Structure 1
Amino acid sequence: MKFLLLPACLPAANKLGFYRRAKTPFVFGFPALLSAMNSSRINSQMLESNTLAIIDSSGVRDARDVHEDRLSFLEAVRTASLRSASPIPPTWKMFDAIFHILRDSSSLELATASFQLLTDLDKRYPRVYLDQSVSLGTDSSGGGQLIVNKEAWSPFTVGSENFYSEATTSSRDSKSLLDSEYFSILVEEIMLGRHFPIKIVENMLLFQYLVHVLEVDYLPRQTSYKRTLNWVVLRESIFGMLLASRKMNYKSLVRNCMTITSRSFLHGTNICLKDLKEAESTSADLPQSCNVGLSFAFPEFLRTTCDAAQKFLILIMELDLIRKEAEKSGCTSRLDSFRVPILDTIIDELTYNKDQISPFLEVFGEPKWKLEMILLYFGKYCKRPTTRTRRTCDLPNDETLQGILNCFSNPTISCGILKKVSSVVARFLLAQAFKCYVSLQHHPKNAVFLATKVGGSTLPQICSSLIASFINLRQLDESLKFTSFEKHALFVATSLNRSAKLLDDSRASASH
């Protein structure tokens, strides 16, 4: 009969203080194991066998024991791979085990512990990074060479045949891998919220981690592409291959992410404070402390999940922008599958579901892309007339912020627009566009973007045009009532316009 002695360095194991049966014996103590290993390969193999032995559930039927063993395993991996003076990278099987705990934790304590451990391991052992020690010449702008660890673990199966060796891939459990179809289903499940609170939290943390994996794999490649114009590095990214997969319902994924970002999916769930309180004491088989604080932590899980969905949408926008530039330069090929740009998908969704406009744009926090979306939305209705008159000949050809404001300052054109767009939506979008414009003014790096999207107008001119647009909307509808947000935008525009005039007057008097 074989017994497993849990390592004394683990707090969870000390609390148990017992022996239990296992198929694989624990060779010797964990600290002694770290000091006795010489070869890195032997180190990894012995670390794998000893840590995985902790969660060997053969003959264990008590849910409390399984819960404590999983906590001990996570602590053992953290000690060996992060806290040790000579850290040992986890093997693929160890990563798979941690990831399996995140997907099927059944407790808040295990879900958060596995999520944090995976995130910390990604920071310590990155899959893709820029090596700053390798210089690329004077035109590298201070960047380094792109390093892709093809043997690194990844939770996705997309493109695994290109990145991972056959021996390593074949040794993995296919059930532990995720593809684009599962990713779409996961987002839909979060949006619907039809599971128990603990399972919803697991899905939220899983989604946040997957978005984190996509981001850390994509951003170094994006930086490398801007220097080298090598489109292949972006095509081979996990993010690019995930979006190019035919298994994914792309439009449905974007709509679900928009719903999660706007937090409007909360109205469709049956989660309430009573459910969260009951989930804190879900099962008598688990320790009472494993779900304590769920009702207090749930709002934070919601916020971080909404932020992750927004980050996912922004990453697609940035990839679409780079792909458009690559297509103009002739860097793309037939290997790049066709996909509708995400901005077109978002505008179509906002056009046919106008109730989504306010919740989505109020929460969406990136001013650059928000202004782009508002201009594209208005561009569907503020088309330049085919017949020119004295009232319309001064309108700009391009869809800029100044051009949109000119349209709403003109009574004839604004009446035509308001037949398709309600006054409530128009006022809200104009105020949001002005807010984005003012926010972008503080960053010099946005000068080129503003010159393209604003139309060359100065800040006082934009403020005057916004005031004129709001006055015109009030004249068209005398019963119009502005919201507090719109009043604030009008107040800021008036204040900035007045300050600019006072500054000009002081300069004029000083010159005389």
Structure 2
Amino acid sequence: MKNPSRSNERAGIEDNMLLTMFDASDTKDTNQDSLDERIAFLDAVRASSIGLEYGKPPSSKIFAAVFHMLRTGKSLQLIVASYKLLVDLEKCFPRAYLSGEDVSLSPSNSTPKLIVAEEAWSPLIVGLDNAPVVREAGDKQSGGPLDPSSFHRLIEELAETLTESNIQATSMKPLQNLLVFQYLVIVLEGDFLPRNVTMNWSLQRESLLNLLMGSRKISYKSLMKDCMKVTCLLCQLVQNDLSKNLDVEKSSESQLSENHHIALSLALLEVLKNTHVFMEKLLVMIMALDMSRKKADIEGHTSRVDSPRTPLVDIVLDELAYNKDNIPHFLKIFSESKWKLEIVVQYFWKYITKPAAHTRRSNGSTVDATFDGVLTCFSNNIGTKSIIKKIGADVVQLLLAHGFQAQLSILLERNANDNIAGDREGASALVDFCHAFISAFDSLRSTDKNMEILSIGKEALFIAATSISMKS
């Protein structure tokens, strides 16, 4: 049997040796010898953890050193290498995961067991609102975890960078912010998703995501609005061709050589293309958290420590209603079918006239608050005219088209996974849905003779007609 004290002592010696490699080049970022030493440090960390069959996770000091390189490095090679190492370590040593038992073989009322690495290092310090703030100073403290206010500031900086008409690659800071954000989302996702599977609010409550969103150090609504702003700005950049918005010509302000500037520009271009995926993951996780909290509240599992928060869907709806120009950008880049459909349906029902209840004792709502229910509201010219007047013809088309795409995706996935019911039922439901969608557009055109069908509407109508001909 191994002596634990000997193992700990050996691990401590190995950590000290690795950290010596890091400290030796800590104050000399620009020369080649320093860069080589840091790359060697990253390779040594990878070899001692990921590279071994029974590798162990690095110590907190090692993690902090790698995080420090990501946030303060002045070499593109070093920044990308440290980011990849941190991501690979998250995959290899998850901070939360479900037990290896096959949940599908367990009784229906059983709950999968959650395993949490309580001592795992985290790039975020949450749940301690009295903890000292981690400043942005370019010293070793930059390797420490970010607190909620620093996370919010990171999102603000992303918005500021994307707001610029031309994103000039004059320094490593924009690339570092983007990669730090992506890494933080990976960490939040790795901790939240296993907890969410358990459907146990006491476990979901302790997630990094819930603690971050509930921190008193941030303005939750302001943070969510900034996340939406980043999402819409990313969509505009992609639509306008990122390469045209990214200033790839060397600026006179740049301290970089010509070759390094071109390499940084290309790296920034590629990372920008992927950032919207990570922002969508963050928003979807928050919406799932809101739904879990609502369910727990209904079941009486919440307490005073669960401070009330405005659901993210409500914030999204308010922001889109306030600035309708963002609707096409947000819906185009937000691809998750379930939540996109929820946003479209709820947006419509903000403006659709609700039928009056017949009696005070009427049980339940008479409103069909689904996308099918929305399509029904376009069954006559009076209802259609009212919706167009309140929302606008173009916005109605956008919402209908995106709602159709999301609902169609859900129906097709459901039919593909349904091995019990016959194909006829699924095909019939799909055909009925496509007919209802085409009918809604027919009502739009008959109500507004001057309305021009948008390209996204034409595409959706073509798909609907094709689906009908294939299934009929």
- Residue 334, structure 1, aligned to residue 304, structure 2: yes
Change (3 A) 1:283 1:499: closer
Contact 2:191 2:207 in 1 (8 A): yes
Corresponding residue number in structure 2 for 1:430: 400
- Residue 465, structure 1, aligned to residue 436, structure 2: yes
After TM superposition, the score normalised by the length of structure 1 is: 0.77
- Residue 123, structure 1, aligned to residue 91, structure 2: yes
Corresponding residue number in structure 1 for 2:193: 219
Higher relative contact order (CA 8 A, sep 6+): 2
User: Aligned ranges for residues 69-148 of structure 1 at < 5 Å?
Assistant: 69-85=37-53, 87-132=55-100, 138-139=106-107, 144-148=112-116
- Percent identity, aligned pairs only, is 38
- Residue 474, structure 1, aligned to residue 441, structure 2: no
Question: Which shifted more, 306-315 or 404-413?
Answer: 404-413
- Residue 379, structure 1, aligned to residue 353, structure 2: no
Name the SS of the counterpart of 2:97 in structure 1. Answer: strand
| Aligned equivalents of 2:280, 2:212: Cα separation in 1 | 17
Contact 1:48 1:91 in 2 (8 A): yes
Change (3 A) 1:331 1:102: same
| Aligned equivalents of 1:59, 1:416: Cα separation in 2 | 66
Superposed displacement of residue 123, structure 1 = 1.6
Change (3 A) 1:372 1:412: same
Contact 2:42 2:82 in 1 (8 A): yes
Superposed displacement of residue 238, structure 1 = 0.7
Superposed displacement of residue 441, structure 1 = 1.1
- Residue 45, structure 1, aligned to residue 12, structure 2: yes
Name the SS of the counterpart of 1:399 in structure 2. Answer: coil
Contact 2:398 2:457 in 1 (8 A): yes
Superposed displacement of residue 191, structure 1 = 1.2
Superposed displacement of residue 283, structure 1 = 4.0
Superposed displacement of residue 308, structure 1 = 0.5
Corresponding residue number in structure 2 for 1:242: 212
After TM superposition, the score normalised by the length of structure 2 is: 0.83
Letter in 2 for 1:94: I
Q: Which residue of 7, 12, 21 maps to 1:54?
A: 21
Change (3 A) 1:138 1:45: same
Superposed displacement of residue 237, structure 1 = 0.9
Contact 1:408 1:469 in 2 (8 A): yes
Q: How many residues align?
A: 435
- Residue 369, structure 1, aligned to residue 339, structure 2: yes
Superposed displacement of residue 378, structure 1 = 0.2
| Aligned equivalents of 1:399, 1:429: Cα separation in 2 | 15
Superposed displacement of residue 387, structure 1 = 9.1
Change (3 A) 1:311 1:421: same
Larger gyration radius, structure 1 or structure 2: 1
Corresponding residue number in structure 2 for 1:5: none
User: Aligned ranges for residues 97-496 of structure 1 at < 5 Å?
Assistant: 97-132=65-100, 138-139=106-107, 144-159=112-127, 176-193=144-161, 197=169, 198-224=172-198, 226=199, 230-262=200-232, 263-264=234-235, 266=237, 275-278=247-250, 283=255, 293-386=263-356, 397-444=367-414, 458-496=429-467
- Where structure 1 has 5 or more consecutive residues not aligned to the other structure, the ranges are 1-36, 162-171, 389-394, 448-456, 504-512
Letter in 2 for 1:474: R
Superposed CA RMSD in Å reads: 3.4
Contact 2:67 2:143 in 1 (8 A): no
| Aligned equivalents of 1:405, 1:218: Cα separation in 2 | 35
Contact 1:82 1:124 in 2 (8 A): yes
Superposed displacement of residue 428, structure 1 = 1.3
Contact 1:127 1:149 in 2 (8 A): yes
Letter in 1 for 2:437: L
| Aligned equivalents of 1:62, 1:297: Cα separation in 2 | 20
Name the SS of the counterpart of 2:192 in structure 1. Answer: helix
Question: Which shifted more, 407-416 or 307-316?
Answer: 407-416
